[in-house]
Structure 1
Amino acid sequence: MDELVNRLSAAAGLDREKAVAAVKTILVFLDKEAPPDAVKQLVDAIPGAQQALDDGRREQGGSGEYAGFGAMAAYHALTAVGLSGGEVQIVTKELLAHSRDAVGDETTGRIVGAVPGLEAFV
C-alpha cells in the first residue's frame, strides 16, 4: 500500500493523508461496482489494500453509496475527500497503471470495463 500511496502522492502532488483517502475511496467504489473476483485479485496483490478497503468501508458507514453513475460517482467521491478535478484524473490514471502492474491488463480491463466512463482514464 505504501508503494501505491507514494506513487499517487508523487504523481498528483498530494500529501500522504489525501493519497490514503483516495486509495480507500477508490477501493470501496471498485468493491461495489467492479467484478468481485477482479477486485479481490487487485486487493490481494497490493499489500495493505485489504485493510485500506476495510477502513474505507467503516469510514463511509458501510454505505458505499455515491452520487452519480459510473466514473462520475467515483469522481464525486474523490472530490468529497478533498481532491481537485485534476488530482482525480491523475490519481485514477496512476491507480489503474498500478493495477496493471499488480494484476495485469486482463484483470484491470475487467475492472475498467465494468465501470461506465472509467475507460477514459486508461
Structure 2
Amino acid sequence: MDELVTRLSNAAHIDRAKASAAVKTILVFLDKEAPADAINELVDAMSGARPVLDEGKAESAGAPGYPGFGAMAAYHALTAAGLSGGEVQVVTKELLAYSRETVGEETTGRIVGAVPGLEAFV
C-alpha cells in the first residue's frame, strides 16, 4: 500500500497523510458499493490494505452517509477528507489505474461498473 500512497501523493502533489486518507476513504466507499469479491481481490493484492480498510470501516460505522449516490457520494467523502476537486480526480484516476495494473481490467471493470458515475474517472 505504501507504493500506492506514494504514487497518489506524487501524482496529485499532496502529502502522504492526505494520500493515505484518500486510499482509506476510497476503499471504504468501494467496499460498500462494489461487488465484494472484486473489492476483496483488490484489497488482498495491496499489501497492508486490509487493516486500513478495517480501520476505515470501524471509523465510519454508524456515521451518516454523504450526499448523493455513486461517484458523487465518493467525491463528497474525499472532499471531507481534505482533498480539492482536482485532487479527487487525480487520486481516483490513479487508484483505478493501479487497480487495473494489480488485479486486471476485468475486476477493475466490475468495480467501476457497480458505481454510477465512476466510469468518468477511467
The answer, yes or no, to whether TM exceeds 0.5 is yes
The question of whether the paired residues in 2 share the 8 Å contact of 1:32 and 1:64 is answered with no
Asked if residue 96 in structure 1 is aligned to residue 67 in structure 2, the reply is no
State the Cα deviation string for residues 28-57 of structure 1 (Å, max 9, x = none): 000000000000000000001101101111
Asked if residue 119 in structure 1 is aligned to residue 116 in structure 2, the reply is no
- Once the 2 structures are TM-superposed, how far is the Cα of residue 64 of structure 1 from its aligned partner? 7.4
**Equivalent pairs: percent with the same residue?**
75
- For normalisation by structure 1, the TM-score amounts to 0.96
Give RMSD over aligned pairs.
1.1
What CA distance in whole angstroms lies between the structure 2 residues aligned with 1:47 and 1:107?
Answer: 18
What CA distance in whole angstroms lies between the structure 2 residues aligned with 1:90 and 1:13?
Answer: 9
Question: Map of 1:11-30 to 2, 5 A cutoff?
Answer: 11-30=11-30
- Once the 2 structures are TM-superposed, how far is the Cα of residue 67 of structure 1 from its aligned partner? 1.8
- For normalisation by structure 2, the TM-score amounts to 0.96
- Once the 2 structures are TM-superposed, how far is the Cα of residue 58 of structure 1 from its aligned partner? 1.9
Amino acid at match of 1:71: A
Question: What stretches of structure 1 of length at least 5 have no aligned partner?
Answer: none
- Once the 2 structures are TM-superposed, how far is the Cα of residue 63 of structure 1 from its aligned partner? 4.3
Asked if residue 109 in structure 1 is aligned to residue 109 in structure 2, the reply is yes
Q: Which residue of 1 aligns with 2:8?
A: 8
What CA distance in whole angstroms lies between the structure 1 residues aligned with 2:65 and 2:101?
Answer: 29
What CA distance in whole angstroms lies between the structure 1 residues aligned with 2:41 and 2:62?
Answer: 21
Moved over 2 A (4+): 61-66
Asked if residue 50 in structure 1 is aligned to residue 55 in structure 2, the reply is no
State the Cα deviation string for residues 76-122 of structure 1 (Å, max 9, x = none): 00000000000000000000000001100000000000000000000
